[in-house]
Amino acid sequence: MDRRHFLILGLLAGFFVGYGVSELLIAGIPLPSSGDDLAKPLTGAEAVKYKEECRALDLSTSREDPYALNGQKVWVEGTVYKKGESYGVKPQETFIALKINTTPDYILLSYAGTTPIKKGDHIKAYGEYFYPAEDTTTPELKNKELPLIKVVYIEKINS
């Protein structure tokens, strides 16, 4: 093959890759994060110390200004409504829509890595509050700005 063929093949490959990524975005499938914005999961003594520094998430205090809690260490408890994991892409990331007993009805969780937690599990998650976030794959949550917790520790609660 001469250089023109390589150029044409390169342009076609670029087009199809670009088209595929744009279709994923249009379809609402979240692309994996770069990893820079993922909180590092904690274990052992680090997790115990972090949990002690967290306070219960009280969304009633943020109704007027949902940005006010950004960056604060919080914990939240609820039931896993939906779970998704990025596979084959580094870094791996788990996304959870958590059903909670307040307004809004849901909060989003982002966790670096994978977890055995599954849909229907009652969990407690610890991490950093962030607003706004959006779940573009769950029809009832589409086009809604929701709080997100960048989770560093997650535990299943027996109910």
Q: State pLDDT tens for residues 83-119.
A: 998 877 777 899 999 999 988 899 999 999 889 999 9
Give residue for tokens 């009805």: 105
DSSP state of 50: H
- Cα(99)–Cα(124) distance, integer angstroms: 12
* Residues 12 and 85 sit within 8 Å (Cβ to Cβ): no
Residue 32, pLDDT above cutoff 60: no
When mean pLDDT is compared across 9-13, 39-43, 67-71, the lowest value belongs to: 9-13
- Cα(122)–Cα(67) distance, integer angstroms: 27
